[in-house]
Structure 1
Amino acid sequence: MIKIGSSIGSSLFALVFCFAFMHQSTALAATSVQSTVDRNEMGLGDSFTLSVTVVSNDDVDVQDPRVPSLEDFDLLNNWSSTAVAQKLVQTSKGMQFETQRRKEFHYMLSPKRAGTLSVSSFEVVVNGKVYRTQPIVINVGSQGGGSGGGGRGVPKSPKAPSTGPRMPHGFDDQFENMDNAEEEIFNQLLQQRQRLMQQMQQQGGGNFPDPNNFGSVGTGGMAHPAFRSLPTNPNEAFFISVELDKTEVYEGEQVTVNWYVYTRGQMETLDRLKFPDLRGFWKEIIEEVPAIQFSEEIVNGVPWKKALLASHALFPIKAGTAVVDEYKIKSRVRLLSQGQGWGYSGKPYEYTKSSARVEIKVKPLPLEGRPSDFSGAVGQFELHDSVENTTVPVNQPFSLKVRFEGAGNAKLIDLPALNLPSALEQYDSKSEAKFFKNGRSFKEFEVLLIPRQEGELTIPAMSVSMFDPQGSKYYTRKTQPITLKIVNNPNAPVGSSQRMADGGKPSATAPVVTNRLPDVIMAWQPSTQASVMYRPWVWVFIFAGVIASLLWKAQREFGWGRRQRTLKELVQKRYKALDSALAKNEVRKVGAEMTNIFYLVMGNVSGEGGASLKINDLLEMIPPSLRREHGDEITKTFEIFQTMSFAPEEMLGGLKDPATMKGNVERAKKVISEMISSVDEKQS
């Protein structure tokens, strides 16, 4: 005879186990790890930023990524950032807030050689589970592309081609619309200024100062440059000029550099052969003109046509001698006729010209008088902190904003120590930074704080020391302390907070709340007139059905009662999907299927499973005889299919050819067959 109580208890245990398993699966599925780059085409000497991003709906434990071998790259810098976002989503219970957490690890890399290079997969451990990112292919030309360094600590990458998908909409840049509007206004002002300068020059000629006082944008040039190269031969077809506002600076101090083209002929084409590499500098683009616009300038009594090529703000990153290298262009020019008038005649000729190389002396920041709280900020900055409301409910998050703004590169500034009181918990932080075309910049940190006790709290004043390169001295900026009133939160869980007595200590008379079930559950009592739903035999059938369905699902999921498939049978099943993709000439799918088959077989041969290891690590774990005979072939064929899976379309070349693809598949099947045979021999 079956006891009803025991049956119900077993069924409830099975239900709890099932729900816990489903919840864990959902949590894992809600976590994604991916890698992106701000660009994948560049020249030798340029740099790019690679970001590894972990996005999860839950509060997960994220370990620092395991960086792969970077033999072809120099690691210039690395930093990390975190963010938390909420958005309304439709659920079965109506519209609810969904929280998404993002952790980003940024790596600034510079290629060591030209050619097609590859950044291997990064491995990130999230809640004990290993995730691998996709490899990224980088195209490196022999000449620099002029993009310089990426942004340090900026959550959002520059708008350039990316090999990875975009971030979830919950992390859309809240300042993007503002930035776009600002850029549009600036472009309109720039166009008005250029028209004004052309009108002034047509009326009176000569070189006029910049009406907007930018000092680095436009054809007017700098008022008092420290270095400027000008054309001396009036018979030259064209000349590339470079001007700098400083040739001796401190580490991190801004140097503004402009490049211009001067000509007395008619330039019919203009090809930028080499952008300056600008090694040793952090670079911010003030302007790189897509189409040049000429204006008149008289040099030593000779009239020239002058146009801006580019304007950059450079920040030297270490003491010593830094070099602003050549800007090289090629142009087909039709020269000015020697007859009457100012017409252009005769056959055009092609010329190649370069700007001068300019050395900059970079002085180290002085050690004497350096404050202990110096954070590396160089420039003239103001510091402000603020909260939206000084009255905050207990256990409810609020934002503290810390903003640096002024002349210099604020992107390099780190969040200072906050020294918060123990009753105030720091939950998360994110930052937003921007460099403006007039040489000013800002960086704003938004810190999420949670008060844990009622009463009065004070966020202490912050003190940050910076270096002023103009005055050659250190200075300190301080904020004002912020006093908060933490009030009772009726929506907080019962007993989740403490009321503070005098001196900020918990009150001795605070009520103690014991854990109990909600009143709505305790008040439930079965009706005195029992209906059919209260009859025991009905519950027996219900729970019997639940148990049967759970057993059927477990049998399908875990294969209970079925014969375990051999490795050969598993591979043959995968081959069916592979052959189908091969017949349809689906290059990406063929690459992905064969890559997965390699991991499956190598994991079984090594006895390590393979899901969390790189192929080179698995290769070290297989029997030495297999490694000696087939190691090179395994590595070569695996790289082919990995390239077919992830490389950009233009990089595939002949790998997309059906005959080549079929040949590579046969090669792979042959070496996989050898590995399977070794497993069969070991088991027999």
Structure 2
Amino acid sequence: MTKTGNFLFFLSFIFFGLFAQAAGTTVQSTVDRTEMGLGDTFTLSVAVTSSEDVDIQDPRLPDLDGFDLLNNWQSNAVAQKLVNTPSGMQFQTQRRKEFHYQLSPKKTGTLSVGSFEVVIGGKVHRTQPIVIKVGQESMGAGKPPKRPSMAPPGFDDPFESMDQAEQEIFDQLLRQRQRLLQQQMQGQQQEDYGGYPNSTGLPEAAFRSLPTNPNEAFFISVEVDKTEVFEGEQVTVNWYIYTRGQMETLDRLKFPSLKGYWKEIIEEVPSIQFTEEIVNGTPWKKALLASHALFPIKPGTATIDEYKIKSRVRLPTQGFGFYGKPYEYTKSSAAVPVKVKPLPVEGRPADFTGAVGQFELHASVENPQVLVNQPFSLKIRFEGAGNAKMIDLPALNLPTGLEQYDSKSESKFFKNGRSYKEFEVLVIPRQEGQMVLPGLSVSMFDPQTKKYYTRTTQAINLTVSNNPNAPVGSSSRMADAGKKADAPKVVENRLPDPLMQWQPAAEASVLYRPWLWAVLYSVASLVLLVKAQREFGWGRRRRTLKELVQKRFKVVDSALGKTDYRKVGVEMTNTFYTVLGEVSGTGGAAMEIERLLEIIPPSIRRDHGDAIAKSFEFFQTLSFAPEEMLGKMKEKETMKSQVDHAKKVLTAVVSAVEEK
């Protein structure tokens, strides 16, 4: 073993010396196969290798005429190797970024994939075209993609033919060197962080769980920026996975339900990307699982519950560092309680509408020149740091002559913690002349200063003009309603008008018989009543809420039988909105589920609120989450269990409503 190790080190000195002289940035494209049949797929990989930390932009794709692009993804890798330099042995860092594209040929023959352009550090690099031969018959699935060589073009990389043991030797040397440096820095770090050995270099958070057992296969870390907030104040939480081994599978068994919070997704990664991190002297691979912005909806204690993961992992063995037999482990993150303080009652202004954060307020109309009895749009926009989605429309004190007709809103939360909510209010002017929309005053709460503050908009001057197309009965027409029509002028010595002397023929006299018109009107009225009964259901029994829900359940059962998990999720989500909208009297579709739960009767919320929230979260995830994140959620047995539970909950709610 000693002779073999010395020989490997000797070869490494020679080859690393040659490699160091040719080091730089290389871009190569490879495919996992060049011959296939129509309908087969293959993977094209563009690999960028550099010894420096440079800015690498996504490749510019060539014209893929003759191919369908089915999927694409990226991967990153960082390696450090011992290199022989004029100044002695040095560790050299190799950074590698790969862009993968899954393609399928659309026709037979000899096809060509053109050059990819990659901008690296402001300089354009191009790959060589690749020729693909496509036959009629499918040749089956392709082989795993061949990893492109890290050596520069024209240089025969000897490490591709060497055993993995050599790489493991250098990795062990690197880990030993990192541990030594970490131990030397440990004392200084404890002093800098008040005795807490924060070896990650991350900014301090109110709560952060880190792995403590160096022999653990993997660890689910949770990081929370605040553990004591006001109602409606943002809490940012990140979940990470740490591992020392090779993860072969990753199954998200349980997403946090986050009861008591309004949730906005900052990031939920469909495929994880690992980076390296040293924690208490032990090297780990770390990847982000999810990042959420949470807003507690009521005072008390709101717990950020567990994120549960099951994974099959190969752990490194002793000696050369090979990975051993895979074992399956299940881990959960820590539950983090957050203390939620109520908003201060003392000093709360009457015009406070629930805005918590730092917001600006704007009001505007598209055109101050408006027509009487014709609606125009008044836009009211809240924008700033915080969750604007929780803001209600403030009361509008419109002057006499202006009437509020209807309103709608749109809102969005951004990943940087800012958001906006814009209300569009339709206002109808009922009289002509100069009018003023008064400035709108709204109070908000700033959790940083712990004080209420007020934002006020500018008044808007309107000019209301006559509307020539106003309907009869409008104010512009009513102004002339009191005027009497001028009497017609009498023209003397005028010859008789022949038309005025016309008399109906004797044959037409039957049309002037009253009984005939009475019969015709009766028949027409009967026809109209029959049509109205068919169109509007007059005289028929109105379908009850229970019947509506049972009808939706049949649609869900049909989708479940076909294992159409998307339709199951959508139909059950709509069923929840139907029931809660009917119970709350709001219709439901235009409101968030959390708001609906707040306004339903307290007895129903107390008995079924938690079950509704959890079940709704499952079906909403089933409807919209990326397929990679669903795992066992989309399996028929899991869906059937959740559907049966939801049916019991909804049936109980409907029964409670109909008994009242």
TM-score of the aligned structures, taking structure 2 as reference length:
0.48
Higher RCO (Cα < 8 Å, 6 or more apart): 1
The structure with the largest alpha-carbon Rg is 2
